[in-house]
Structure 1
Amino acid sequence: MTHDHDLELRPTAAQTAEALSPPPGRTGGDLVVETLRGLGSTTVFGLPGQHALGMFDALRRSDLTYVGLRVENNAGFAADAYGRITGEAAPLLLSTGPGALTSLAALQEAAAGSSPVLAIGSQVPAAGLGGGRHGYLHELRDQEASFRGVVKSTHPVRTASQIPSAIAAAWESALTAPHGPVWVEIPEDVLLAETVLPVVTAMDADPHDLVPRPELTAVAAHLLAEAERPAVIAGGGVVRADAAGKLRALAERLDLPVVTTFGGKGAFPWEHPLSLQSWIEDRHTTDFLEDADVLLVVGSGLGELSSNYHTFAPRGRIIQIEADAGKLESNHPALGIHADARLALTALLETVPEREDPKAPERVRRVLDLVRERVDSQHLNLEQELLASVRAALPDTAPSFWDMTILAYWAWSAFDARRPGTMHSAQGAGGLGYAFPAALGAAVADPTGPVLAVSGDGGAMYSLAELATAAQYGLPVTWLIVDDGGYGILREYMKDTFGEATGTELTRPDFVALAESFGVTAIRSTPESLKDDLTKALAEPGPSVVVLPAHLRMFAPTHLG
């Protein structure tokens, strides 16, 4: 008996002839780029280095588009954003030792933010692995171990024939929910050695669907339908799974108030009558969620930021839908449903009856009124006006990327991300220097519209080298740098805690002159002219910098009470 898949595996005569006569002069590096092409890649990010030159030479013989950044960490941030915007695995080519290790902070952010980054790094020649016998440049005793605790999976290669399978397995891992970064490691001599292996053609590395168990969604549907005061916390998993439409449909069918986490910005319409927006750092919102008799948590582990710094103490029943099994019930007991957010919400929509609660919009308005009164009482008009200016200047569909800076901390709570997947920040791992290189990666993914990056002057210093990248590729990124003379948020934290700040004041360059020296248009703005300055910068082709000298303050933290 012959099965259909048996026929599919049987090569044609033309395929056999082509496989028996591969073109000469190919190396292990060619196997890398051929595999990436066979998996569907069109673009790779990275930075060349001595042991990785076999991969980079092979790029010359391929039709892959290479985008080179100036620092490996920034290349990782760019790949992260490319993966978020496209939903595809983003290849990141790295060298050995210092080059590889410099990418780790970016890969930590990709892991925290569930971004499918496919990092492929070189290694010292195979003979030198495992003990420093040869003393190679860049050599690490166990390079793979440096990545194992950061990425989702590691895939070491030791021979040329292992390359296609290792990269395909890594690709599948990166794109299986929850998405995440992966690490492939190939020795220098394997990359450089000529190969007579056939040219790699189409590869099959489809990610696995993470389907919810039906008995669990049946219980969840019953709990939600019978609840008196249900509510929803929507996290980044909703955005990553492209499940915002499903979430809205479920909320409207059951009259569920919805709050989004900082990572879930845009998962639910900001002005919707059932929207609690994203004021999860406010005690009024926390009180409301604690009072819910059934709380549906979708795509969030209820970590530090999503639980109001672990002050959240729910009294009702929690239903937690989460693709990362390690996050299920990790902070609170729950009916844990290990599943992709979109598939689980679809299952609930197919199961739940309609539930009417005409008082739900009124309860939502009451919470938002209390939040607004508290913020307004602190006389922080400048900060709110600046956010309003940014929102007014930025097209609804344009993505924005935010560094760890005071204006971003405000944006987490107060910025209306009008479309899913349009607001991204470094709050997953909390590293500095994310915004600008990530925005460059987003512009590579879609160069047809503007992209905004927002940094403080301290975070901007991590990324200045990438002004050269922006200019080299003509990427349409506008970089807003809020210059307050140092690490503003750390200054506030230290003064509040110790009465005085240490190590937070910084000497800075003239950012406008520096940008112009790279051939990048730049302007010094004011709070009054920011909206117009940003609007103009975002409308012009190519990169631009807007510098805003301003000292911002955070809204006061809330307390239990």
Structure 2
Amino acid sequence: MGAPRNGGDLVTETLTALGARVAFGIPGQHALGLFDALRRAPGLRFVSSRVENNAAFAADGHARLTGEVTPLLVSTGPGALLTLASLQESRASSAPVLVISSQVPRAGLGGGRHGYLHELPEQSASFANVTKTAFTVRHASQIPSALAGAWRAAASAPAGPVLVEIPQDVLLEPTVVPPVEDVDPAPVPLTPRAELVAEAARLLDGARRPRILAGGGVSRSGGRDALVALAEALRAPVATTFGGKDAFPWDHPLSLQSWIEDRHTTDYLEGADVLLVVGSGLGELSSNYHTFAPRGRVVQVEADLGKLESNHPALGVHGDAASTLAGLAEAVTRRPADPAVEGEVASVKAAVAARLDAQDLAAERAVLAAVREALPDGAPSFWDMTMLAYWAWSAWDPRGGGAYSAQGSGGLGYGFPAALGAAAAGRGPVLAVSGDGGAMYSVAELATARQHDLDVTWLVVDDGGYGILREYMESSFGEATHTELARPDFVALAGAFGVPATRTSPERLREDLSAALSRPGPNVVVLPMVLGLFAPTHLDG
């Protein structure tokens, strides 16, 4: 007769019943009951990282790519706290990560017995700013309901990370709870109020110059088709934020693409008599650094109630982007094709291109083009906070693969571990892009990539320092301080982990990167190059 089931088994059974197929994390002393249960859960794959913040980024990357709630399993105290910076990104970018952390034994909770290893006075309080909510389990029978509630909370719009903490003794204690089967993963729908949809449709129908700014909420909600239907019905041009780059087809005649840091695009959007902002809070990066000043009416569709009208007066529609767009597409009156509108869109994009042509940026544009040519259509890309990513925010065509970055909170080290998490979904090659500074945050995860044979090609642009900070300091103060970095030979270092690596050049980049992406498993391509950034267009007159 086998060992009795315990609290750890209830966790893995519940996650499997909810639909989880892969989990990320790192074992720890208080969590051993949970990790022991993983070997009795054949339907749940575990990917072990080397540092907890990178495990959290991996869960974020998997959640963004798949749209599925993704479990993150960590231990008490130091292990849990190391996830906070990564969860800040997940909260800002609405990635549904389900954090399951162990806790000290029940006797130490709530000001009880003290002196346990890893003990924090109020561990869940540390997560208050980076999660939607937190659950503390005190008995094994609470585990299935707590996890199901947390799963639904993480998935419900606006999605985001949720914490469940379970004491060490609860994970280890035998349970008489039967195997978990009947749990409900369905999120609570966020349906907009009918009168708001009707009023928004009335405003859009009456507009002579309707225009749309689509954010990441459109992509996350699966609202792309509804957005296309609405834009075509209204003959309304569409710009996308950096976080919503795949919300609208890049080459559509109504697509303004993502040049929202350029005054040509910003001015055109400002000229709408009715501007529909959907799935965006119009924060700093989506409003040309808060210089954006719409002159007409604004209709804002947003799942996060706190973001409605937080930056601009609007008709605020609290609702899921996809369902709201579908309702609007059905409600508005379809307009005839208007070549003049498509001509306006083409003129805006031509003005943006002319502005770039006037700057000495041919090398940077060629590098980004080479990366785009090397990455197969439909393959996702994950970008660290690095110079080439700043280019990609505006200029990258995702071609059906999605482009993901850490712009929600702006922390370094996101690209590679997030790409590893995405690769665990097993959908084909994934590209990660980092600078040498950001690469050092996550270089230990080369071991994770090799151990789990994850199909990620990591492009490291080595410019000898923190390139963005160097650029900012030189433009602001005339010279940069403490931005130059000693760094390893990344090719040799990757080789030490057993990961194939290539040192390339701008001329060979497309060929070398394409070859790496065609080889299954992890690969590294290093490009030694200093890139410049296009001028700060929000300062133009």
- More moved, 183-192 vs 351-360: 351-360
Query: 2:112, 2:250 → 1: CA distance?
Result: 56
Q: Does 1:367 align with 2:348?
A: yes
Q: Does 1:34 align with 2:13?
A: yes
Query: 1:543, 1:473 → 2: CA distance?
Result: 9
Q: Does 1:52 align with 2:31?
A: yes
- Equivalent position amino acid for 1:29 in 2: G
TM-aligned CA deviation for residue 125 of structure 1? 0.9
Q: Does 1:412 align with 2:393?
A: yes
Secondary structure of 1:359's aligned partner:
helix
Query: 2:467, 2:136 → 1: CA distance?
Result: 42
- Equivalent position amino acid for 1:545 in 2: V
Q: Does 1:479 align with 2:458?
A: yes
Pairing partner for 1:70 from 47, 50, 55 = 50
Query: 2:455, 2:470 → 1: CA distance?
Result: 32
- Equivalent position amino acid for 1:284 in 2: H
Q: Does 1:83 align with 2:25?
A: no
Q: Does 1:231 align with 2:231?
A: no
The match for 2:126 is 146
- Equivalent position amino acid for 2:277 in 1: V
Q: Does 1:263 align with 2:243?
A: yes
- Equivalent position amino acid for 1:504 in 2: T
Query: 1:26, 1:225 → 2: CA distance?
Result: 61
The match for 2:428 is 449
Contact 1:132–1:141 (Cα < 8 Å) also in 2: no
TM-aligned CA deviation for residue 497 of structure 1? 1.1
Superposed CA RMSD in Å reads: 1.2
- More moved, 152-161 vs 301-310: 152-161
- Equivalent position amino acid for 2:77 in 1: G
The match for 1:465 is 444
Query: 1:246, 1:364 → 2: CA distance?
Result: 20
- Give a deviation string over 1:213-244, Cα, whole Å, max 9, x none: 11111111111112111110000001001111
Runs of 5+ in structure 2 lacking a partner?
A: none
The match for 1:95 is 75
- More moved, 493-502 vs 466-475: 493-502
Q: Does 1:120 align with 2:97?
A: no
Secondary structure of 1:437's aligned partner:
helix
TM-aligned CA deviation for residue 373 of structure 1? 1.1
C-alpha change, 1:212 and 1:173, in structure 2 (3 Å) is: same
The match for 2:517 is 538
The match for 1:526 is 505
The match for 2:141 is 161
TM-score by length of 1: 0.94
- Give a deviation string over 1:237-258, Cα, whole Å, max 9, x none: 0100111111111111111100
Query: 1:515, 1:205 → 2: CA distance?
Result: 40
Contact 1:454–1:481 (Cα < 8 Å) also in 2: yes
TM-aligned CA deviation for residue 499 of structure 1? 1.6
Pairing partner for 1:247 from 227, 231, 235 = 227
Pairing partner for 2:88 from 83, 108, 117 = 108
TM-aligned CA deviation for residue 385 of structure 1? 0.2
Secondary structure of 2:502's aligned partner:
strand
Count of residues in correspondence between the two structures: 538
Query: 1:463, 1:26 → 2: CA distance?
Result: 37
Secondary structure of 1:48's aligned partner:
coil
Secondary structure of 2:399's aligned partner:
coil
TM-score by length of 2: 0.98
The match for 1:384 is 365
Query: 1:158, 1:500 → 2: CA distance?
Result: 56
TM-aligned CA deviation for residue 155 of structure 1? 0.9
Q: How does 1:206-225 map to 2 (within 5 A)?
A: 206-225=186-205
Secondary structure of 1:354's aligned partner:
coil
Contact 1:225–1:355 (Cα < 8 Å) also in 2: no
The match for 1:505 is 484
Query: 2:55, 2:248 → 1: CA distance?
Result: 31
- Give a deviation string over 1:483-542, Cα, whole Å, max 9, x none: 000000001111111122122110000000000111100000000000000110000111
TM-aligned CA deviation for residue 23 of structure 1? 7.2
The match for 1:13 is none
- Equivalent position amino acid for 1:91 in 2: P
TM-aligned CA deviation for residue 560 of structure 1? 4.8
TM-aligned CA deviation for residue 126 of structure 1? 1.0
- Equivalent position amino acid for 1:299 in 2: G
The match for 2:172 is 192
Q: Detail structure 1 runs of 4+ shifted over 4 Å in the superposition.
A: none
Contact 1:132–1:139 (Cα < 8 Å) also in 2: no
Query: 1:253, 1:99 → 2: CA distance?
Result: 51
The match for 1:399 is 380
The match for 1:15 is none
Secondary structure of 1:184's aligned partner:
strand
Secondary structure of 1:186's aligned partner:
strand
Q: Does 1:318 align with 2:298?
A: yes
Secondary structure of 1:464's aligned partner:
helix
TM-aligned CA deviation for residue 24 of structure 1? 4.8
